[in-house]
Structure 1
Amino acid sequence: MRPVRTRHAQRRPRGTRAAVLVALVAVACLGLAACSSDDGGEGSEPDAGPEGQKVSKGATLDATWPLTGLPVTGSQTAAQDHPVMVVKMDNTPSSAPQRGLDAADLVVEELVEGGVTRLAAFYYSRIPGTVGPVRSMRASDIGIVSPAGAAVVTSGAAPVTLQRVRGAGIDFFSEGAKGFFRDSGRAAPYNLFTDLAATTTLVESAEARPDDYLPWGDAQDLPRGKPAGSLSASFGSHTTTWSYGKDGWTNSNSYAAQGEQFPADTVLVLRVQVGDAGYRDPAGNPVPETKLEGKGDAMLFHDGRVVRGQWSKKSLQAPIALSVRGKELTVPAGRTWIELVPAATGSVGIG
């Protein structure tokens, strides 16, 4: 298919810093090196990604990374010449082994049709090579990626979803764009991958540092909470399980390749409202739409404990705010996995 230029999202100015962490570093620039879809959840033909050229101007960082709150160290860069990249990844047994999760800064797990889930894996401080399997977008992704001004790597989407994503000003790249390839050793549609370092070169430079995705803070600031050595987040047909140990929180039933699991310091569970996206998949299942705006209950799992509070989000584009007993709740700086568990039909077990 012919390449089509997608609309570029506006970059918002940097917000107020929540984390008090160390040291500015010297500014340097880091050079980093869709088509028809057989994606089972969507019966559509996505656009190919744009062949746009980057500009040389990059987003200058301050002391911390926006997706983790961790300090930018002297061995890293003080400027990034790309926006946040989000890869839509399959999260069913057919996806095993998933590639590239270990390099993500942050992961969001969301409900799709049939009670199973997909992942939105966020990359910014590090852009890896092979990532996937890559699957399709949902309207739910607008509220997930917009606060970061992110570009999405996807296998496509249904026409109604494409229209809404374009209307939200979100860049996306699909099969046919640079970096996408099919793994001949896997069955379609679970064989689409991207060389993310190559695909990222198609994106125009971000001119402003992304806002902090979460209100970052320090573990010492957390309320005491209650002991929690395990948790299970049930979405319907799929339940994601976690256990706490010396290396943080481990996804006990991960589909990631050996050595490529996401190393979660924190698991943040948000109980969310889920509506109907207004169309059905090829099997006749209604497609759900997670409503990541408004407010709901939150559970923050860190260091073997759980703190219960509330989350709020004023709009799809707004950042996530957290509170406990009317006071701001911050997330300890580190790598966070967010579970968007349906409030009405999902459940969370704590052990």
Structure 2
Amino acid sequence: MRHRRHPRSTHAVVAALVAASLLLAGCGGGDDEEAPSEAAPSEPTSSETSEPPEPTYWPLTGLERTTGAPKHPVIVTKVDNTSSSSPQVGLGSADLVVEELVEGGYTRLAAFYYSKVPANIGPVRSMRASDIGIVPEGATVVTSGAAPITIKRINGAGIPWITEGAAGVYRETSRSAPYNLFAHLADISKRLKAKDEPPAYLPWGTEADLPKGGKASTLTADFGAHSTSWAFQEGGYVNTDSYAAEGDQFPADSVLVLRVEIGDAGYRDPAGYPVPETKFEGKGSALLFHGGRVIRGTWTKDGLTGAIELATKDGDLTVPAGHVWVELVPAVNGTVTFAK
């Protein structure tokens, strides 16, 4: 402790002080001031003790999200995918696209929007019962409607949908029916409210997580009357036979091909073709195209609303975060070819 000075009122006190000073001088090196005591460590502030916030990710791309979640749900729009749809509008803004078989060996697209919503999308076409296994829980579908048997099943699955007659769904006068139904998707999204944030649509990872795989710079998914071809160019995949408007093609970072069983939906379309139904549940073979390579694996899905799981013979398989086009190619009567 620090020494205190006392009044010098008597000789005894003086003598005692002199003696004490001599003793201190011999023991303490002649300095009559103590060095300051070491300061006690200060309590850490809240900013020093708090952990950095956990990163959040977009459920349809796996990319890190730096903003809050949108107030609207995932919006899935059914888009025509024949030459009559050209040019398709709005695909360039989609987070993810699923291509599914419809009657006659042709295909239809389910375009998913969440992180970004375009002003307009189309041509909008009808739903299929296959969509029960494709549309994520909590999503809203924009469609031109469906056959009565399909509407009954879609409603039974609890999937909300919007069609002609609702605000924001309109006919484009420069096109011919039935390829002239469009939707002001940005306006529609403002009127929709999300209940919960959706779960991840695919098992997301990074490119570093992938097995080596084999070279594959081109691929074609053939559904019968229609085929979709891709070429790996400048780090991504370009749909070389796309019907999308110029500059509005889907920016695919990966193409995921899942071989699926096809059943009969139980009715025929107006042209007399039996309507197929994709059975997107159970298991099947998978091909993941990324970075100019292909990884072989399998997919599993526990029921129509189950999560999509991917695996190779060595363990779980993840999809590098980014924009993915999913091809649901029939296991029978469908083919997938690729080349180096």
With the length of structure 1 as denominator, give the TM-score of the two structures.
0.80
Verify: 1:268 aligned to 2:261, yes or no: no
Alignment of 1:194-213 (within 5 A): 194-203=183-192, 205-213=193-201
Cα shift at 1:123: 0.1
Verify: 1:317 aligned to 2:340, yes or no: no
Verify: 1:189 aligned to 2:182, yes or no: no
Aligned residues: 288
User: What is the CA–CA distance in structure 1 between the aligned matches of 2:200 and 2:64, rounded to whole Å?
Assistant: 13
Higher helix share: 2
Q: Which amino acid aligns with 1:270?
A: L
Verify: 1:89 aligned to 2:79, yes or no: yes
1:175-227 CA-to-partner distances (Å, cap 9, x unmatched) read 01111111111110000000001122332x22321000000001000000000
SS in 1 for 2:134: helix
Structure 1 partner of 2:38: none
Structure 2 partner of 1:156: 145
Segments of structure 1 that go 5 or more residues without pairing to the other structure are 1-22, 26-61
Structure 2 partner of 1:234: 222
Q: Which amino acid aligns with 1:102?
A: G
Structure 1 partner of 2:317: 329
User: What is the CA–CA distance in structure 2 between the aligned matches of 1:102 and 1:319, rounded to whole Å?
Assistant: 25
Q: Which amino acid aligns with 1:221?
A: D
Verify: 1:120 aligned to 2:113, yes or no: no
Q: 1:285 aligns with which of 269, 273, 276?
A: 273
User: What is the CA–CA distance in structure 1 between the aligned matches of 2:57 and 2:310, rounded to whole Å?
Assistant: 20
Verify: 1:104 aligned to 2:104, yes or no: no
SS in 2 for 1:130: coil
Structure 2 partner of 1:63: 56
Question: 8 Å contact 1:177–1:199 — kept in the other structure?
Answer: no
Q: Which amino acid aligns with 1:241?
A: S
Structure 2 partner of 1:141: 131
Question: 8 Å contact 2:138–2:196 — kept in the other structure?
Answer: no
User: What is the CA–CA distance in structure 1 between the aligned matches of 2:273 and 2:196, rounded to whole Å?
Assistant: 41
* Structure with the larger RCO, 1 or 2 (CA within 8 Å, 6+ apart): 1
Q: Which amino acid aligns with 2:91?
A: L
Moved over 4 A (4+): none
1:27-50 CA-to-partner distances (Å, cap 9, x unmatched) read xxxxxxxxxxxxxxxxxxxxxxxx
1:220-262 CA-to-partner distances (Å, cap 9, x unmatched) read 0000000000000000000000000114000000000000000
Cα shift at 1:347: 0.0
SS in 2 for 1:162: helix
User: What is the CA–CA distance in structure 2 between the aligned matches of 1:218 and 1:292, rounded to whole Å?
Assistant: 25
Cα shift at 1:149: 2.4
1:293-333 CA-to-partner distances (Å, cap 9, x unmatched) read 00000000000000000000001111110000151100000
Q: What RMSD over aligned residues (CA atoms) do the two structures have, in Å?
A: 1.2
Q: Percent identity, please.
A: 61
Question: 8 Å contact 2:235–2:291 — kept in the other structure?
Answer: no
Structure 1 partner of 2:293: 305
Q: 2:206 aligns with which of 218, 241, 254?
A: 218
